[in-house]
Amino acid sequence: MARSGDIGKAADVLRAGGLVAVPTETVYGLGANAEDPAAVSRVFQVKGRPPTHPLIIHLGAAEQLGDWVADVPETALVLAEQFWPGPLTLVLRRGRRVPLEATGGLETVAVRVPAHPVALELLSAFGGGVAAPSANRFGSVSPTTADHVRAELGDAVDFVLDGGPCDVGVESTIVDATGDAPSILRPGGVTPEDLEAVLERPIAVGSKSHIRVPGQHPSHYAPRARVVLVEPAEIATAAQAAQEEGRQVGVFLPPSCASVPVKAHAVVAVPASMADYARGLYGFLRELDERGCDLIVASLPAEEGLGAAIANRLRRAAGPR
C-alpha cells in the first residue's frame, strides 16, 4: 500500500513530465499531467495505443469541471453532482485547457472524479488534471492491483502508487453528455438503472450517440487465452469437448451450474453477486492465463445492473482478434 511520502513523490513525477500508475476504484490508470503534451504522448507509446484513442482526464473535485470543458449542460451537472466521486465518465465539449493530444484530436473530452482515497489525495497534491487510460498494454486486460501494473508495464512507468485491489473492478461508465439526451458509450461501474433513476427517463446504450467514439475495438480486455461464450447449460459439454481435443481449458462456472461436474484444466467459480463478479473479473482472466489455459469457456450474466458491464467486457474479450 502507499506509504507516507508516496503521494508527494508521485505528484513530483507528474510535474516533471513522468508517468504514474494511479489506483482508482475501477481499475489502475496510467497517469500523466493532462496539460503536458509530451507526457501525454508517452502514455500512448507505453501502452502501444493508437494516438487517435482519447484518454480520460481525472479531476480532484466536481467543482473543477468548468475549467476543463467548454460548457456544462444541466444534465451533466446533475450527473456530476450525483455520481462524483465515482465510476462515471462524462464526455463533454473540450475546454481550451485540454491539449488535442489527450483527446486524440477530438473536440470533446472525457472527464471523471475517481472515488479512491489515494487517487483523490494525489489529484489534490498535484492540483491539475491527470490524463489516464487503464494501465495495461493496448487491447489486453485492465489491471486491478499494483502487481498487475508492475507485471504488465514494468520499468515503463516511473512510479506505481499502490492503493490495494480496486473495489469496482470494471472501468467507469462513459456517458455522452454533450446534448440534451445523454447516452451510454460504455457500460461500467454506474449501472444504466442508476442513471435512469437520476435522469428520470430511459437512457440509450451505444449507437444512438452522434459523437465519434474511437477506442471501441471489437477485441479488447482480452487475455492471452481465446475466450468463447456459450449458454450456461452448454458449459460443461463445451469444456469437456475442447479438453479432449487437447486444449488447456479454463472455465468460468456460473453459480447456476455450481454443482455440475466439469472436466477442465482450471475452473473459476463465478460469484453470485454481480459486484463480486465485477471486482474479480479481470483477476480471473489473468489467473487462467497464468495457469496455462489456452481457451476460456464462459457465459454471459443477465444484463442488468453491473451485469451489463460484465457482459460487455466478456463479449469483447471473446471478440475477433
- Interface with ligand TXA (CB under 6 A): 24, 26-27, 29, 53-56, 87, 89, 91, 103, 106, 108-110, 114, 132-134, 171-172, 174, 185, 211, 213, 215-216
Q: Which is nearer to Mg ion, 28 or 68 (CB)?
A: 28
Closest contact distance (angstroms) between CB of 114 and ligand TXA is: 6
Q: Which is nearer to Mg ion, 227 or 242 (CB)?
A: 227
Q: Which is nearer to ligand TXA, 20 or 288 (CB)?
A: 20
Q: Which is nearer to ligand TXA, 24 or 312 (CB)?
A: 24
Closest contact distance (angstroms) between CB of 63 and ligand TXA is: 19
User: Of ligand TXA, Mg ion, none, which one sits near residue 29, judging by CB under 5 to 8 A according to partner kind?
Assistant: ligand TXA
Contact status: 173 vs Mg ion (CB under 5 A): no
User: Pick from 171, 231, 219, 251: which is nearest to 317 by CA?
Assistant: 219
Q: Which is nearer to ligand TXA, 132 or 308 (CB)?
A: 132
Pick the piece of the chain touching Mg ion (CB under 5 A) from 90-98, 119-127, 128-136, 242-250: 128-136
Q: Which is nearer to ligand TXA, 109 or 293 (CB)?
A: 109
Contact status: 312 vs Mg ion (CB under 5 A): no
User: Of ligand TXA, Mg ion, none, which one sits near residue 227, judging by CB under 5 to 8 A according to partner kind?
Assistant: none
Q: Which is nearer to Mg ion, 134 or 145 (CB)?
A: 134
Closest contact distance (angstroms) between CB of 87 and ligand TXA is: 6
Cα(15)–Cα(39) distance, integer angstroms: 10
Name the grid cell of 233: 447449460
Cα(95)–Cα(161) distance, integer angstroms: 29
Which member of 26, 103, 108, 134 binds Mg ion (CB under 5 A)?
134
User: Of Mg ion, ligand TXA, none, which one sits near residue 106, judging by CB under 5 to 8 A according to partner kind?
Assistant: ligand TXA
Closest contact distance (angstroms) between CB of 56 and ligand TXA is: 5
Residue nearest to Mg ion (CB): 134
Q: For binding to Mg ion (CB under 5 A), which residues are involved?
A: 134
